[in-house]
Amino acid sequence: MARTYPEHPGEQPAQDPIRLLAIRDTPLSVDEVFAAAGDSAAGGTTLFVGTVRNHDGGADVDRLGYSCHPSAEAEMRRIAEKVIAEYPVRALAAVHRVGELEVGDIAVVVAVSCPHRGEAFEACRQLIDALKHEVPIWKHQQFSDGTEEWVGA
């Protein structure tokens, strides 16, 4: 359960700090995630944008595809609730893309707002690290030499 408490006298408690969680097969919007994580009681908002890079493990990447298990959004929520339980999160948003992506495309965007910047940095890092390691999303990389590789499967 998300904690909802005022951080300072006169501050209103957050209703539900989880403002946006989604897995989408369409291009992601940094502006949408940043806006969803906004909160007037937050002194810091940290935003992370993960993009498709042109290499991995010494090989040139041409493109990749992401796929996910039907439980992926529920796992994202579980992770978000864990971050909220550990940090004074005012607002949190996370969106991951599935489908075919090209080099440079945005694959994931997460943002966290907290009363202070240090908390926001720490909470955002925990959020993206846990999403990357615990959410059942798999990456199928296609390399320039014609080989391919599944990551996270």
Whole-structure pTM value: 0.89
Task: Provide the β-strand partners of residue 140.
Answer: 65, 150
Residue tagged 């579980």 (tokens): 78
pLDDT in tens, 24-73: 999 999 999 999 999 999 999 999 999 999 999 899 999 999 999 999 99
- Structural domains of the chain sorted by starting position, each given as residue range(s) with its CATH number in brackets: 18-151 (3.90.1170.40)
| Largest pairwise CA distance in the chain | 61
- Nearest-CA neighbor of 31 among 43, 17, 20, 42? 20
19 vs 39, 55, 85, CA distance in Å? Answer: 10, 33, 15
What crossing angle do the helices spanning 117-134 and 72-86 adopt, rounded to 10°?
Answer: 150
Residues 130-144 pLDDT 10s = 999 999 999 999 999
